[in-house]
Structure 1
């Protein structure tokens, strides 16, 4: 059965769970379509043939994937990259894979900096507070691209029509200052999906206004990208903001990366195959206390607290048992045949449990890293908690590489227009 499932998923069939992820629907909604006869799963396997759902744009984009063509995109010349808020290196590694030359990476966390320096001694890693960096002084070369994921902070509106100077004290201000000082051809900022609605959308509107009116960039309409479309076995979403310097806007058009040919699952992350050449290596990891392990052992693969007996539900959930909402992250065991839920900074947090699919334990460090598509030879530095944090906060490497290739294509087109 597993062999059939693996083969079919790779080609022309979807499991019900994976289809739900692709279509951004709940599993219950897809099940309802099956009950109504709108979708007819294969009687033997329970899988859904791609042809049945090809009318959905998300499925069509996978079917018509240009990934193989885009993977061949390389820089026409050396393109210099500056990265802010670099963390444990997910975005930087993806950008390197796309062909960028990193001239400066800034990060305030000492353990993340140690990770960057350990794996890439040749990178210019600047440890410390971004507000203390004089970018013009630090960098002599022309900067082609500036990237970074600034933490989303509230701005104080107080009746102002908020401008660049009024955002002082926020990390967005520091990223904007770097853009103003370095004048990169293009910048790319990534953030949590919640930035779309943060402070009723006013935060993002202020950011857009400052970028276009004060920094001199034209914004590509910000877009939420789902990692499952970019060869990442994880249901992670990131808001991507791309800006092109106004004097270059007529020379080229930014194109979002094409999705991969299929959706990767935890099976792809943990076992040798298309994503990794070997099974996931053993590594350090958090442990459950004895009673928690006894309760978690009773949760089936893909299940959560509601799969426990009522008695165990009450014991595990305590006061939360009586509250509303699904709380689907609690006592959650992942499934090998689905992408992972979004990784957090700790796999054993009660609200966002990430239990191994077939063993009763939290995900280990190398399993965490594989779900974020870090290569096994990328060694994280610092204590266990710092390593989980670096991985949990990272941009998945394969998604970063896909975005990087889109940026390279844009810069190549700008170069061609100049010649």
Structure 2
């Protein structure tokens, strides 16, 4: 299975496909720091600006985790006509010129609702107009053995194959609630309307905030000593939270640049699951489905095969892989730094002044952390 990766970032999709047995023929990435990672980690040609790429090789799979900048809730929300997310048209141009057997697209769930789901409508209409079959599904990385809650929409399309056999062949159902975690993730940049609370997981790693600043989440480690209870994961821990090996982006760039690269990446185990489905598609699971009505809100999972559009009742948990490490252990093994005094003080002030529900012992540890950081 030979692949071309467009908007490759640091190669999450491509690395996952290689773990499923694929070989990478060409990578396209505009941002120099990420392109340097690709040249170091892959045995493939790396090209830059997709707008200057005239054509791509004839391969089995073309992937495109196209920019979410104009589609994300923390982005500019300009939509599919934005200057960055709109570059998906360049990927479609190359796909139309040299059609592969499979196409894999990835982006944020906000594309299903922003502007009435205009981005998803544009993409699936493009495939429908050219006689392609397509299927998409929203999945969460935390169900693939990672300690990160990360919801993403994955779309698979083919002119000759049934993509439902890739995305809809696994269904683990809704998870059971487990209590008593040793660590909880949260966004220290929030505190007014939400905190991104994660039971045993971090919230989604982001490439940047609304101000364009890369800001890793924080983690509360229950029962840890003052100064160690409220921390920020190291970049190496962030790489592991995405399924890369620790040090994947360590080529001398500053931590802020590395965090942006990691936050923009595709979770590797999710891509591996996709790759295995591409190698050996199976029958989709037997779940409720119904006609997909045009003009309604896009559901979490849908397909179009031979022109018949259907909505599928599938969860965001196709697999139920338990992480090998707890979140607390991952930070112990790969590093974490105390959250700064100013960051902790600002978050605590916002949280206490809000109406958000919070555990009293969490607030106690925040205040103990403030006291400790004030004395060092």
Give the TM-score range, shorter chain. Answer: 0.5 to 0.7
Per-residue displacement from partner, 1:299-320 (whole Å, max 9, x unpaired)? Answer: x953869xxxxxxxxxx99xx8
Q: Kindly indicate whether the alpha-carbon contact (under 8 Å) linking 2:133 and 2:162 is maintained by their aligned counterparts in 1.
A: no
Rounded Cα–Cα distance in structure 1 between residues aligned with 2:103 and 2:86: 18
Kindly name which structure, 1 or 2, has the bigger radius of gyration based on alpha carbons.
1
Rounded Cα–Cα distance in structure 2 between residues aligned with 1:392 and 1:111: 14
Per-residue displacement from partner, 1:165-203 (whole Å, max 9, x unpaired)? Answer: 9x9992111111111012001101000010101211122
| Greater helix share, structure number | 1
Q: Kindly indicate whether the alpha-carbon contact (under 8 Å) linking 2:59 and 2:100 is maintained by their aligned counterparts in 1.
A: yes
Counterpart of 1:183 (choices 91, 99, 112) is 99
Q: Kindly indicate whether the alpha-carbon contact (under 8 Å) linking 2:167 and 2:274 is maintained by their aligned counterparts in 1.
A: no
Give the TM-score of the pair, scaled to structure 1.
0.54
- 1:354 maps to 218
Rounded Cα–Cα distance in structure 1 between residues aligned with 2:185 and 2:270: 27
- 2:155 maps to 241
- 1:174 maps to 90
Rounded Cα–Cα distance in structure 2 between residues aligned with 1:168 and 1:112: 16
- 1:193 maps onto 2:94 in alignment: no
Q: Kindly indicate whether the alpha-carbon contact (under 8 Å) linking 1:229 and 1:260 is maintained by their aligned counterparts in 2.
A: no
Counterpart of 1:256 (choices 146, 163, 168) is 168
Q: CA deviation at 1:402?
A: 0.9
Q: SS state of the match for residue 345, structure 1?
A: coil
Describe the shift of the 1:125–1:356 C-alpha distance in structure 2 as closer, same or farther (beyond 3 A).
Answer: farther
Describe the shift of the 1:255–1:344 C-alpha distance in structure 2 as closer, same or farther (beyond 3 A).
Answer: closer
- 1:302 maps to 184
Q: Give the aligned length.
A: 258
Describe the shift of the 1:228–1:379 C-alpha distance in structure 2 as closer, same or farther (beyond 3 A).
Answer: same
- 1:387 maps to 258
CA RMSD of aligned residues (A): 3.7
Describe the shift of the 1:400–1:377 C-alpha distance in structure 2 as closer, same or farther (beyond 3 A).
Answer: same
| Greater strand share, structure number | 2
Rounded Cα–Cα distance in structure 1 between residues aligned with 2:259 and 2:89: 28
Give the TM-score of the pair, scaled to structure 2.
0.60
- 1:398 maps to 269
Q: SS state of the match for residue 244, structure 2?
A: coil
Per-residue displacement from partner, 1:4-25 (whole Å, max 9, x unpaired)? Answer: xxxxxxxxxxxxxxxxxxxxxx
Q: SS state of the match for residue 410, structure 1?
A: coil
Rounded Cα–Cα distance in structure 2 between residues aligned with 1:388 and 1:240: 23
Describe the shift of the 1:344–1:251 C-alpha distance in structure 2 as closer, same or farther (beyond 3 A).
Answer: closer
Unaligned runs of 5+ in 2: 72-79, 176-181, 283-376
- 1:410 maps onto 2:276 in alignment: no
Q: Kindly indicate whether the alpha-carbon contact (under 8 Å) linking 2:184 and 2:220 is maintained by their aligned counterparts in 1.
A: no
Counterpart of 1:219 (choices 134, 137, 142) is 134
Rounded Cα–Cα distance in structure 2 between residues aligned with 1:114 and 1:189: 23
- 1:130 maps onto 2:50 in alignment: yes
Rounded Cα–Cα distance in structure 1 between residues aligned with 2:236 and 2:183: 20
Describe the shift of the 1:262–1:346 C-alpha distance in structure 2 as closer, same or farther (beyond 3 A).
Answer: same
Unaligned runs of 5+ in 1: 1-78, 156-163, 264-299, 306-315, 412-419
Rounded Cα–Cα distance in structure 1 between residues aligned with 2:30 and 2:104: 20
- 1:328 maps onto 2:242 in alignment: no
